[in-house]
Amino acid sequence: MKGWEAIRGDLRARIAARHWPPGAVLPTETALAAEYGVARGTVARALTDLAANGLVERRRRAGTRVAQMPVRRAVLAIPVIRREVEARGQVHGHRLLDCRSAVPPVAVTAALDLPEGGPLLHLETLHLADGRPFALEERWLNPAALPSPAPDFASVTANEWLVATIPHATGEIAFSAAAASPREAAALGVPPGTAVFVTERLTRTEAHPVTWVRLCHAPGYRLATAL
């Protein structure tokens, strides 16, 4: 390896080896640039990257110092479900269990910041991996945010259709554990009350709230990442 990534790597190693202990100020960009024989900008890139990863803290004039209690950041990739299944070497399938306009629970309208009582499009989809239940998706879609006509959600999952159609939206995501409701248990083919991993996601564009989803994963699901 070479270039600014090599410098980043070397700095990482020296920090890990406590060459600069936590809290210590490390040399200035200029000094490091001289040491590595590169331009200041190159060292700055490496340091900026380390700062972005929380390994060091940088303040103007104060210099760069090794973080004392680094808050670990885990970057989770949240792919489309089909990708997730395919990444496990399985075949993805899905069945649309329900698709109609209905009035959502207050919790949903509140989360979406929509007036109470307005009907939303309700979808219920069962995702399959190699033909076996993988996750149950319950989704409320804001019709005002959808182009018309709405697509055929039996052939394309709402999940994929949304990322393709309204790709660049913001939102929140939350993970929790819950006991499977009778309905969820039946769909997933597990005993009621089984512990299931739940993902709840909220999506909105600048203009509209778009969708609220609850994904109920079949037992055995793990969300893993390096940190």
Partner DNA sequence: TACCGTAATATGACTACGCATAATCGCGGT
Partner DNA sequence: ACCGCGATTATGCGTAGTCATATTACGGTA
In the bound state with DNA, the residue whose beta carbon lies nearer, of 66 and 198, is 66
Beta carbon of residue 54, minimum distance to DNA (angstroms, whole number): 13
Q: Is 39 left (phi over 0), alpha (psi -120 to 50) or beta?
A: beta
> How many residues in the shown chain lie near DNA by CB under 7 A?
25
In the bound state with DNA, the residue whose beta carbon lies nearer, of 19 and 88, is 19
Which of DNA, its own copies, none lies near 47, with the C-beta cut-off 5 to 8 A by kind?
DNA
The answer to whether 221 and 127 have CB atoms below 8 angstroms apart is no
**What phi, psi does 197 have (nearest 5°)?**
-90, 125
Question: Residue 44 interacts with DNA (CB under 7 A)?
Answer: yes
The CA distance from 137 to 187, in Å, is: 10
Question: Residue 68 interacts with DNA (CB under 7 A)?
Answer: no
Interface residue with DNA, options 59, 72, 100, 222 (CB under 7 A): 59
Question: Residue 57 interacts with its own copies (CB under 8 A)?
Answer: no
What residue has token string 């055929």? 152
The CA distance from 151 to 162, in Å, is: 10
100: its two tokens:
């109609």
x/- mask, its own copies, residues 154-193, rule CB under 8 A, reads ------x--xx--xxxxxxxxxxxxx-------------x
- Cα 58 to Cα 40, 43, 128, 160, 218: the distances in Å are 15, 13, 47, 40, 44
In the bound state with its own copies, the residue whose beta carbon lies nearer, of 143 and 193, is 193
227: its two tokens:
């940190």
Question: Residue 118 interacts with DNA (CB under 7 A)?
Answer: no
Question: Residue 47 interacts with its own copies (CB under 8 A)?
Answer: no
60: its two tokens:
């103007």
The CA distance from 73 to 173, in Å, is: 16
Q: Which positions ≥6 away from 171 have C-beta within 8 Å?
A: 201, 202, 203, 204
In the bound state with its own copies, the residue whose beta carbon lies nearer, of 103 and 161, is 161
Alpha-carbon torsion, ordered 96, 101, 102, 104, to 10 deg: 70
In the bound state with DNA, the residue whose beta carbon lies nearer, of 61 and 72, is 61
Question: Residue 111 interacts with DNA (CB under 7 A)?
Answer: no
In the bound state with its own copies, the residue whose beta carbon lies nearer, of 91 and 223, is 223
Question: Residue 215 interacts with its own copies (CB under 8 A)?
Answer: no
x/- mask, DNA, residues 4-33, rule CB under 7 A, reads xx----------------------xxx---
Q: Which residues bind DNA (CB under 7 A)?
A: 2-5, 28-30, 37-42, 44-45, 47-48, 51, 58-64
